[in-house]
Chains A and B, each alone.
Chain A
């Protein structure tokens, strides 16, 4: 594995078992994600895009093969070590935002900071910085149901970057947004990649969204079938 690669998939198989039936979602997948790269994953539903995100983020482990991050085998970690590793290294952005509805924007952003050694005051400052970065400092005391979809997703991005992780995993981040909000979110993600050096892996169905990435990989039935380079390259 080259040192410029942050994530490395080697011969990864993933099988889901439902009611006695086996579904091979990924078959012998090899994939490298470079440090600081903005990678888009495309493909039909059920082709294994989200499974790649889950494996890269340590939410799931492969049935065979290795998924490593910075040379460290994620699958070999215990569940609690993987949770701690996730808190330090990965930020997640979901299609449905997945903010905690009973917490304000600031409290949502500060939530992952509870897992850091920061003091209460430092957490407040850090959360405020993250909200400022996504342009929502004036909405910090608003609850998710008081925000628009685009604003909710920006809060979710602020939460994902609050702990300053090396990698962001975005699962169809613009899927539920109107065109203008989607553009703003993509611009934000691109900015995070370019200006802050974040490695981003984004699953999308939208070719326009994929155009923003440095590289786009297309999957079909768990196998990579095509790779294209975006406008930036």
Chain B
């Protein structure tokens, strides 16, 4: 069986290094953009899927950013009767750490340590000693492993955060570093005592005795829906109207703030891939036109039209798969890391789809030049100069 002259295919790529590099680069960029967009969307979906179905979140009906008074906690507990294993609360502190640069912008929440552990302890890995020390230390905090790495913080590090929602400056000591057992709980967040934050805010004349949300952990996920209705009905006529939903719904609402990202990303990715197809097609057509005479020589030597078609397709596929492969390596390297506000998730399907897109680009951009090359008449080809 005749062999494909791979040496010749590689030699062609080496001859026009810049052109080959630019082609590989354009495929790399397009597939990388696709990969990151898909990773982002899969990350959002994964965080939704991994939400605990037995947890319900209660916040203000006004908006996600409005506060509710802490005094609702015993009332919520009473409404849950014996169906809840625990109830805790979160308060988004916001604030500025070091400076306003985006890399220092991560989640900072005031919580009640004991109830936080009851409701969310199962999602985290952290040594018992660190839980104990944090619980006993008013100005202590715990941080996610990714945050510790990014900000180069270790146990004992001091963290000062200036408030911009609540006044005052938090002066905290890192007492624990957690890792997450589930993707719905990210590793780039800091938790500290709500009492400390609340007292500081009151002292500085800011808002006090308020929280962002309450979370209840129920014994059975089946109790979630009736409890949501019951809670919201109870506070319907109060000054603090609530919106209660499952954790999954809450996460979905949070994601929805970004609009229809899958559609937007789909259009964006499609446009980028189409532009890339134009670039690679142009390169392959240019290559084929430059090698008209060479094609004539190869046919003269006995290389058949299908072999030449195959050679052009292989060259196109190699360039595109190289770009796509490198892009997917980069995309895979962010698996499990924070990507904007979601934990990146790169399942094998994303990698295979990325490689498939690269291969499709290779086939589509190589097809017309390959057909042109295979149909060239030898006598005509030998007569023509590139």
Which residues of A are found within 8 Å of B299, using beta-carbon distances? Answer: 59, 83
- Say how far A96's CB is from chain B's closest CB, in angstroms: 9
CB within 8 Å for A83 and B304 given contacts A103-B7, A103-B11, A114-B3: yes
- Say how far A126's CB is from chain B's closest CB, in angstroms: 14
B202 interfacial contact with A, CB 8 Å:
no
**Does A79 contact B304, Cβ atoms closer than 8 Å?**
yes
The A100-143 residues at the B interface (CB cut-off 8 A) are 100-103, 107, 111-112, 114-115
The A39-74 residues at the B interface (CB cut-off 8 A) are 54, 57, 59-60
**Does B301 contact A86, Cβ atoms closer than 8 Å?**
yes
The B267-308 residues at the A interface (CB cut-off 8 A) are 293-294, 296-306
Which residues of A are found within 8 Å of B104, using beta-carbon distances? Answer: none
**Does A103 contact B8, Cβ atoms closer than 8 Å?**
yes
Which residues of B are found within 8 Å of A226, using beta-carbon distances? Answer: none
A98 interfacial contact with B, CB 8 Å:
yes
The residue of chain B having its C-beta at the shortest distance from the C-beta of A100 within the complex is B294
Consensus secondary structure, chain B interface: helix
B205 interfacial contact with A, CB 8 Å:
no
**Does A87 contact B301, Cβ atoms closer than 8 Å?**
yes
Tell which of A79, A103, A107, A112 touches B301, judged by Cβ atoms closer than 8 Å.
Answer: A112
A84 interfacial contact with B, CB 8 Å:
yes
Tell which of A86, A101, A103, A107 touches B302, judged by Cβ atoms closer than 8 Å.
Answer: A86
- Say how far B96's CB is from chain A's closest CB, in angstroms: 58
Q: How far is the CA of A43 from the CA of B114 in the complex (A)?
A: 104
The residue of chain A having its C-beta at the shortest distance from the C-beta of B300 within the complex is A92
**Does B8 contact A83, Cβ atoms closer than 8 Å?**
no
- Say how far B301's CB is from chain A's closest CB, in angstroms: 5
**Does A102 contact B5, Cβ atoms closer than 8 Å?**
no
Which residues of B are found within 8 Å of A92, using beta-carbon distances? Answer: 300-301
A9 interfacial contact with B, CB 8 Å:
no
A3 interfacial contact with B, CB 8 Å:
no
The A168-192 residues at the B interface (CB cut-off 8 A) are none
B2 interfacial contact with A, CB 8 Å:
yes
Tell which of A60, A86, A111, A159 touches B379, judged by Cβ atoms closer than 8 Å.
Answer: A60
A94 interfacial contact with B, CB 8 Å:
yes
**Does B293 contact A111, Cβ atoms closer than 8 Å?**
no
Query: What mask results when residues 8 to 30 of chain B are scored 1 for a CB within 8 Å of chain A, else 0?
Result: 10011011000000000000000
Which residues of B are found within 8 Å of A115, using beta-carbon distances? Answer: 2-3, 301-303
CB within 8 Å for A57 and B305 given contacts A98-B293, A111-B5: no
Q: How far is the CA of A220 from the CA of B123 in the complex (A)?
A: 94
Which residues of B are found within 8 Å of A107, using beta-carbon distances? Answer: 7-8, 11
B41 interfacial contact with A, CB 8 Å:
no
Which residues of A are found within 8 Å of B3, using beta-carbon distances? Answer: 114-115
Q: How far is the CA of A51 from the CA of B384 in the complex (A)?
A: 16
**Does B11 contact A84, Cβ atoms closer than 8 Å?**
no
Q: How far is the CA of A86 from the CA of B304 in the complex (A)?
A: 11
**Does A86 contact B300, Cβ atoms closer than 8 Å?**
yes
- Say how far A75's CB is from chain B's closest CB, in angstroms: 14
Query: What mask results when residues 203 to 214 of chain A are scored 1 for a CB within 8 Å of chain B, else 0?
Result: 000000000000
**Does B382 contact A102, Cβ atoms closer than 8 Å?**
no
The B329-386 residues at the A interface (CB cut-off 8 A) are 378-379, 382
The B26-67 residues at the A interface (CB cut-off 8 A) are none
- Say how far B15's CB is from chain A's closest CB, in angstroms: 5
15 A/B residue pairs, CB under 8 Å, sorted by A? A57-B300, A80-B306, A83-B299, A86-B301, A87-B301, A87-B302, A98-B294, A100-B8, A100-B11, A102-B8, A103-B7, A111-B5, A111-B301, A112-B302, A159-B301
Closest 9 CB pairs of A and B: A87-B302, A102-B11, A112-B301, A83-B304, A59-B378, A102-B15, A98-B297, A114-B3, A86-B302
- B contact residues vs A (CB 8 Å cutoff): 2-3, 5, 7-8, 11-12, 14-15, 293-294, 296-306, 378-379, 382
- Known contacts A79-B304, A107-B8, A114-B3; 10 further A-B pairs (Cβ under 8 A): A59-B300, A60-B378, A80-B304, A80-B305, A80-B306, A84-B304, A98-B382, A103-B11, A111-B298, A114-B2
- A contact residues vs B (CB 8 Å cutoff): 54, 57, 59-60, 79-80, 83-84, 86-88, 92, 94, 98, 100-103, 107, 111-112, 114-115, 159
